[in-house]
Amino acid sequence: MNEQNILVRWEADKPLYRAWAKLIAQEIERRLVPVVAPTPLDYFLKVPMVPRLKGDTSLIDKALYRSKPYKNPYEDITDKVGMRYVVLLTTHINTFCSIIESVECETFWSQTKDKDYEEERLAKPLEFSYQSVHYVLRSKAGLSIDGHNLPEGLACEVQIRTLLQHAHSELTHDTLYKPKTTAKPSVKRTVAKSMALIEATDEFFEQAMKDLASASEPQRQLLDYLSGAYKRGTGLEPGQERSNHLVVDAFMELLPQDAPARIEEFLTAKSYVFDKIKEQKGQRHFFNQPAVLLAYFLVEKMPAQTREHWPIDSDDLAKVFSDLGNKFDG
């Protein structure tokens, strides 16, 4: 194929590749949302993912001017459309890999892993170079989206990397394609040292997150119980805002070890609190949060300490006191 042939075909195919990337994003992110909950997806992803179509000149350059051993330059280029997901930790990369390689996604694509930094670490343990996970996803037959019937075999490159790996790539990408620059030993050494530092930092972050998760496990278990009790009692979806953590953290050391069981006994005896909560739907933000159940329990069992340690808006606490027939003196 010559330049003109490639450009004419590429112009005709762009809507299909754009639609294919959109379908991939929908299927990945639809499965990702419940996995990362209660963390919002736009927080879990550290850089917004925007599918990218290869520019006309970049396509021609790669197809015809880089001495690539392509038998069919147009068909063999697998990154005519690309997607990049940036996350915080390497364990988050594994979350993406599990989704992409899942059995349920086989309906939509066949996948090959073209780059895996973990495998490269094992194969070349003394080297520190560009790190990322790259998949090529090819469409299965019979797919359609937004009025486009997608042909079988459309390729899309999906990159997944950590924020630190992304920063390294952004800083070094241009030099990777300038042989006279990268050939200098000093530059190669600097790039390798920076990647070694990034890899070590990533391991420190992973350990820190594990330690934090272990330390906060009692709070997480209590919030899980409160969320379940809130949904069962009110029929409403519990909120997942930071105010829940502020309230739980403020009183964790004052609660009995069997706090869920004690709170359950209280809610059974005073089930009317669920009606009180539903009355505030859309009026008081805190009453949409499962920690409001803990507030009712605390006011009933230790009102003075609750007033003293209450970490957020006292108007909400006053309402809880009133609902239980107690006077709020805060």
- Tens digits of per-residue pLDDT, 229-261? 999 999 999 998 889 999 999 999 999 999 999
Domain regions of the chain by residue span:
3-187, 217-323
Question: Listing from the earlier edge strand, what are the strands of the sheet with 109-116?
Answer: 52-53, 81-87, 155-162, 133-139, 109-116
User: Where do we find the tokens 């909560």?
Assistant: 277
Q: How far from the centroid of its chain's Cα atoms is residue 94's Cα?
A: 11
| 28, 56, 174, 214 from 155: Cα distances, Å | 16, 17, 25, 41
Residue 123 banded pLDDT, cuts 50, 70, 90: low
Q: Is the pLDDT of residue 272 over 90?
A: yes
Of all residues in the chain, the percent with pLDDT exceeding 70 is: 91
SS (H, E, C) 196-263: HHHHHHHHHHHHHHHHHHHHCHHHHHHHHHHHHHHHHHHCCCCCCCHHHHHHHHHHHHHCCCCHHHHH
Q: How many CB atoms lie within 10 A of CB 286?
A: 22
Q: Which amino acid is at 126?
A: L
Architecture of domain 3-187: 2-Layer Sandwich (3.30)
Q: Is the pLDDT of residue 105 over 70?
A: yes
Structure tokens at 108: 């939509």
pLDDT of residue 128: 44
Q: Considering the entire predicted model, what is its pTM?
A: 0.70
Q: Is the pLDDT of residue 225 over 70?
A: yes
The C-alpha atoms of residue 321 and residue 303 are separated, in whole angstroms, by 8
